[in-house]
Structure 1
């Protein structure tokens, strides 16, 4: 972990028009004179939430999704080693993610430790005190969950750390087994359930129902190939997935929106609706400050550059052809939204779509800054429609990124019950709910697509429903099929008539370079040099 040679909170706003997270930024607030009243506690918690924006602006939302069988980095001459599986311990992106993640954990630890030590704070009700503590525990669990899935055996720090007093014991912490990290994640989330309300106090904050959903995801990952149940046992973990997804379903508030594309139009337009998207990272570009992300720019449909205040998207990724070839039924509405066979060009400030039949040049369509224009009869009219609301910035966007969706809750329950019981009525119902919303056909028709392989149906349903949302790589690892999936993808692309080695070699790179070691990431070399007690992962 990097030396933290400062004692401060960087408090930034992450939600517009929201009293909790749209607080005025503070440059430096020393810990010695902080937590004097309810407002300062709220500012401090806002600083913990702000770390989500740092982590999901592009790293966990874009770069860790590119290089799967969903998205492929499209740049041939330069680019992200993460996406090409050509990274090593010296990779600058891994170093950034490691540093930012431990910074987030350190800030969460400071809040948890400071608030836990104070029984009373002026103007802060005890219920709010406990609620905020539960929120910080949930956030710390989320930060550690991302890290343990990437690096597995990592240092476990639960206290705020600074090296101002030369505390080398606090700096040089050894790796601990992944099981111990998972145990702490579970402990934090279970503790948060006792402290938080069923619903968030304000939009964008976490709640008991969100903690249930994240716990289900944690236990499902623990039941997978890399962890094998950990210290709990595989069946225990699967039963916990069912328990926590049941809690969300039985609560009765969350459900699927009527139309699949409505989920993402809400994200693009900044419409705050947590019926299906239970938790999201909010990004805001305003006239006064830029708290935007790269969603829709780095991972959207390409939009050519113009001068002036017009949308622009570098579109750093294509989608894998297996994302649309035979993945969807003819009636499945998700295909048209997920798979964009067009980009946008311009004549001055006038944009128009450009379609392509080359299926290696399709874009992820979920977070599109522009959409296809239509006339009064609903027919395409060769124009572009702007989707973003508010201030438009070429480099960053106000498009939000989902962390937990209700459809994921249903699919997690379906998978856990199937692994426990085999095919069963509840799993059938959960999958049918997701498929019916997309007009994807009956369960039987879905099974026919995968030759009757029920587990394969669940895997493909997750890809159809949750693509580009940060799940696929971790799903492939926990299913134990990352290597074979990526190798098969490369063969598929090479067999494509449109494939030209000189122009698309980067698309086959991850599948042709993938090895067993790529199920985890190497600990960054900077950390290995600073921390004398840490060791590299044995696969690296």
Structure 2
């Protein structure tokens, strides 16, 4: 079978993207190019259309499978440097930092995604290419199965809707394209379309997808009805938030309270159908599993395995993007980004901040434990044994099981890997990199990474078995999980009617996977208290998945989280008590406004004078 490497080039100045066809193997994402063969030869059979949509999945996937980099705008994840990638398909340029390689600063986040803007439009163009050709096939109706083609059309429209949803979530009003762009002249005079009109078009895409997709997919990574319905609900939830809380940085948008209420109700209805009508359940029934022993990793909670290939195709994964693994050039980069050098030379571009540890509640009380006390073990003699000390491993006992599954602290171990083989257990000891250490009479070589400056590293997304390189994982990265739908349903119903019994039950199901008791009555007694409980679960349940920054911007809680504008700023510290980074020092109202909406790339505005700039960036 021929491997096609050349592709159609989108020469529009707006998009600036080179569309890449997949290589030809039997993996879902590795399909023959649909772009090099002429349309008079291709797009004739069901198989042609199927190969075309697989290529679209492969091209759109890199726009979402590194969403964790968005968490750099939140309080609990540090993202640093530029994540090096192996080929253009991964779009490493989407995350290039313009501040000298020092990493994303939450206070300057909105200017970091110029390349993402262009690549998202490339994703739109790729989806439009499939949509146009499949529509032509349906019109002729020869040698094709119309229901199969309508399914493919639904998938393409779902992908287009997802990409536009991301565009408006970041930039508000944007140009709208519903056809393939082949020439600069088509886009050089485009203006930004009002967000309300784009929202309606996205809704139409999601609705068509819901109507035409199967109730359950027959392949990992291909969407089904629950995905379309969940994204439609999420779009309506965001629309409700923007109308309730306002978006003053988007000067053309006028919030409307009645529109907010209607959108909350519509979102809740869609989420309810996802929850009740498709037989979906949480991974492993939502059972917590076993947490294992402190300082060991022979046994880990079920939540950990939700972020390994053990969960590929599971019902909780409503929408995910598949990866091919070793030898396919379609592997995921999760270990490279989340792990350190002890794991196949990984780079720890993403690490927990110190403040996340205090968010994990007690399995005994079901509420927050006493705050950790940062202590320097080189100057405080009893730092590693003092009660509640952040460097005392026993301080982390009896916590939400998702803590053990998500982060590692001093004396916690994971499987080291080199040359695709296990090097045995490597304990994490902050500031002790690749040194022989003795724990309970046993000698280990410590975890080698200086990528963290908090005293914690991730366990979530880091494989616990050897055999794959740091960039060769085959995990299907989730962009919509059932747990997220539970929490969004609870949020939407709470906004309209206050705490509801079914919503409380769903939040408690999520808490149960952390082996936490149900919410106390004081946490569900009124709308404000229940929202706080929902936010708490969104923080720990969706940690590191790229959801938090979109939440805090639609809720408009950045000021509450970071305490700007003005003043001395907010220090982030480590487990030793050292001040590591200070954010929002002497910040202004304009600095904060720039956090709520992204900057339209100046290079695009230079080419197209009709592209206006968002107000905070003028």
Q: TM-score range by the shorter chain?
A: 0.7 to 0.9
Specify the SS of the correspondent of 1:350.
Answer: strand
Shift of 1:369: 2.6
Is 2:357 the counterpart of 1:324?
Answer: yes
Specify the SS of the correspondent of 2:611.
Answer: coil
Distance 1:345 1:42 in 2: 39
Aligned twin of 2:271: 245
Shift of 1:127: 0.6
Is 2:471 the counterpart of 1:368?
Answer: no
Q: Deviations over 1:46-85 (max 9, x none)?
A: 1211123321343xx2321223122013569953654443
* Mapping for residues 123-162 of structure 1, pairs under 5 Å: 123-162=143-182
Distance 1:350 1:135 in 2: 43
Specify the SS of the correspondent of 1:146.
Answer: helix
Aligned twin of 1:301: 339
Name the CA shift for 1:536/1:454 in 2 (closer, same or farther; >3 Å).
same
Contact 1:12 1:50 in 2 (8 A): yes
Contact 2:17 2:122 in 1 (8 A): no
Aligned twin of 1:463: 539
Is 2:402 the counterpart of 1:334?
Answer: yes
- 456-465 or 524-533: which moved more? 524-533
Contact 1:318 1:362 in 2 (8 A): yes
Contact 1:229 1:237 in 2 (8 A): no
Is 2:101 the counterpart of 1:79?
Answer: yes
Specify the SS of the correspondent of 1:278.
Answer: strand
- Of the three residues 228, 232, 235, the one matched with 1:218 is 235
Shift of 1:452: 7.6
Contact 1:21 1:46 in 2 (8 A): yes
Contact 1:63 1:83 in 2 (8 A): no
After superposing on structure 2, the runs of 4+ consecutive aligned residues of structure 1 that deviate more than 6 Å are 4-9, 228-232, 343-349, 448-452, 488-492
Aligned twin of 1:277: 317
- Of the three residues 118, 122, 125, the one matched with 1:106 is 125
Distance 1:6 1:311 in 2: 34
Contact 1:57 1:294 in 2 (8 A): no
Aligned twin of 1:292: 331
Aligned twin of 1:262: 302
Specify the SS of the correspondent of 2:121.
Answer: helix
What is the TM-score normalised by the length of structure 1?
0.83
- Of the three residues 52, 66, 69, the one matched with 1:63 is 69
Aligned twin of 1:96: 115
Aligned length: 501
Aligned twin of 1:527: 604
Distance 1:117 1:130 in 2: 12
Contact 2:304 2:405 in 1 (8 A): no
Contact 2:340 2:347 in 1 (8 A): yes
- Of the three residues 510, 513, 518, the one matched with 1:437 is 513
> What are structure 2's unaligned runs of at least 5 residues?
1-9, 83-98, 248-253, 289-300, 363-397, 432-452
- Of the three residues 469, 472, 477, the one matched with 1:393 is 469
Greater relative CO, 1 or 2 (CA 8 Å, sep 6+): 1
Distance 2:258 2:159 in 1: 23
- 440-449 or 151-160: which moved more? 440-449
- Of the three residues 576, 592, 595, the one matched with 1:498 is 576
- 413-422 or 108-117: which moved more? 108-117
Specify the SS of the correspondent of 2:222.
Answer: coil
Aligned twin of 1:10: 20
Aligned twin of 2:57: 49
Distance 1:193 1:449 in 2: 36
Q: Deviations over 1:151-205 (max 9, x none)?
A: 1111111111111xxx624432111222222111111111222222211242211
- Of the three residues 499, 517, 533, the one matched with 1:423 is 499
Name the CA shift for 1:12/1:445 in 2 (closer, same or farther; >3 Å).
farther
Aligned twin of 2:347: 314
Name the CA shift for 1:64/1:29 in 2 (closer, same or farther; >3 Å).
farther
Specify the SS of the correspondent of 1:361.
Answer: coil
Shift of 1:331: 4.1
Contact 2:165 2:235 in 1 (8 A): yes
> What are structure 1's unaligned runs of at least 5 residues?
305-309, 371-385
Contact 2:323 2:475 in 1 (8 A): yes
Specify the SS of the correspondent of 2:563.
Answer: helix
Aligned twin of 2:198: 181
Specify the SS of the correspondent of 1:360.
Answer: coil
- 100-109 or 38-47: which moved more? 38-47
Shift of 1:22: 3.9
Distance 1:80 1:39 in 2: 47
Is 2:46 the counterpart of 1:38?
Answer: yes
Shift of 1:294: 1.9
Tell me which structure has the larger Cα radius of gyration.
2
